[in-house]
Every structure is written in structure tokens, then in C-alpha cells.
Structure 1
Amino acid sequence: MSDKVMPLNTAPRLGTFNGFGRTMLGKTRPDAEGACFATHWFTMLLPIWPLGRYYIKEGETVVVAGGRGASASTTQYVFLGRAELRMSEVIRTYLFFWVMAPLVVAGPVTLFGIDGDAFSRSHPITFLVLLIVIPIVCLIALAWMLVFHEKFLASARVPEWVGAGPANRSA
């Protein structure tokens, strides 16, 4: 499948602080050049509003250690062009972050808590450990599912340049 890509005048602003800000989500599988399509989102812990869709190359991620065990990471992107938003990708992102992630965390805790009174009284430490471990394991599994989707299941899209794309741009 191909997507129309238009030349880009300026790259969008990216950056989040404690989950608030702008980030890239919903990447497609990289093409032969290592570039992919991704949606630019405004986030407030969860994706709130799609701001645009871009054809990008993902660079290295730099992790900087902070004080008291904190750290920050920055992923470098090269923005190659702008594409039209795909509603299927927007809906899939909303479903993943607003439905699947809360269900994966709250579901096991709720099910475990429904009939957990007797177990919590007889094994309080085990009950607390399971109450904490189950959501963490589920979140890790969900994150791996997201990575697996981006690397192997997401459809490969080919850029179809409109206007002065990389192939016909003069230097």
C-alpha cells in the first residue's frame, strides 16, 4: 500500500514531561530505507488528540541519568515528509491506550479482588504481591504486543511523493 507524502517545511515540535506533551505513536513497519509512518499526538498520560502524520526515520534513543535514580530518554527523529491522517491508525491508538491498557491493568486486579477476601486474610503478603505483580506482568505483555505489532504485524506502507520529494528534489 502507498501513502501520499508531501514535502515538509518544518518538523513538528516533540517533547513530553511526565507524559504531558507531544510524541510519536502508531508507527508502521519500516520500509526498505528504514523509514516508517507515525502519528504525532498530543498526550496527557494517554493520547488525547492526533496532530498529524509523518514519514520519519527513527534515530537513536539517548538515556540520560538524573538525580535520585530518575532518568530521561530522548529519541531522535528525521522527518522526511507529511502524510494524511489515517483514521484506522487513530482508532487503533485510542483503542490500545484507552481500552486495552486499562482492561489489562484493572481486569486482573478486579477479578482477583472479587473473591479475594478469604485469601487476603489467610495470605496477606502473597495477596499484596499478586495484586501488584499481575498488573505489572500484564503491562509488560501489552508493551511487547505493541512492539510486536509495529515490527511485524503493521502493514508496510510505501511513500508516494507529491511535489518535490526526495527523489526529485534539487540540492
Structure 2
Amino acid sequence: MVEAVLSLALERTLLKGEILSCYMSKIYWGHGIYGIESASKFYFGKHPSLLSLGESAMLAGLIPAPELRSPLRNASRGKTFQARVLKRMVEVGFLDIETALSVVKQSLPLHVNEAEASIAFLPVGGTDSIFEDIWDWETESKVWEACEDMERWAIEVRQRTSAKC
């Protein structure tokens, strides 16, 4: 009950966009990072206003469990949770299926340097870097799996839409 009263008071004081902005600037994004500006710079090396749709969707996918969903802990997670966010955007009408499919097929290059990685407690060992371009079959197959899952989902949505007409 108290939460409902507080939320009503907050909505009467601030616009929804202002509430979202305050929330995004305070929440935890994993690896000791708080706030969207720090997260954007940490993961992609740029200001949030310069993020692509795919990068924004990946960050949105982190919110419920940033440490567990971190693409730095498991490279395929970034694409998996990005795809979930894009699907939801299509379902609520913010995005068309073709754009979502196009975005999920794009690479998602992270721009975390080794100094930031060691601060974030990531395993960086010897001369090998986790950021080198190494073909990782397991990760690549999970990324392709996310893309194929998105394509199957898009076909089902199209079929349901055409059946209604």
C-alpha cells in the first residue's frame, strides 16, 4: 500500500521519462558499474546517446541480472538477451520484425580494454587476452542459435498475423 501511494506521488511530481532517467542513472550494470553512462562507456566505449539499437537492447537485457547476463562472463549471453529485448519490442509495437532480425544478425563488438577487465575481476591470464579475436565454436554456435531462434519466432508471428487477416 505504501509503495502504491509513493509511486502515485512520484508520478504526480515527475514525468515518466524523468523517472526512467533517474532509474537508469542509478541502477547496477555489473562489474562494479552503476548508471547508464558508465555502463555504455564500459561495454561499448561511447556515450549512451551514440549507442546503436543492438547495443541498447543488449544493455537493456542486462538489467534483471547484470552479473549473470554479462557478455564478458560468457560472450553468447549478450546476443541471447539482446534477442529477448528485441522480441519484446516487436511484441509491443516499438519495432518491426525485419529490423529486429537485422539487428540480431549484426555483431556486437564490446570495447572493454584489459585494464577495465582486470578491475572488473575478469580472468585475464598471461599473454593471452580474452579480447583477442579467437574463433570460439561454442560461443559462435550459441550466437547462431539465438539468431535462428529469432527467425523461427518471426515466422510464427508473421503466420499468426496473416491468419488474423
- Structure with the higher fraction of residues in strand conformation: 1
TM-score when normalising by structure 1: 0.28
Q: Which has the higher contact order (CA 8 A, sep 6+)?
A: 1
- Structure with the higher fraction of residues in helix conformation: 2
Larger Rg, first or second structure (1 or 2): 1
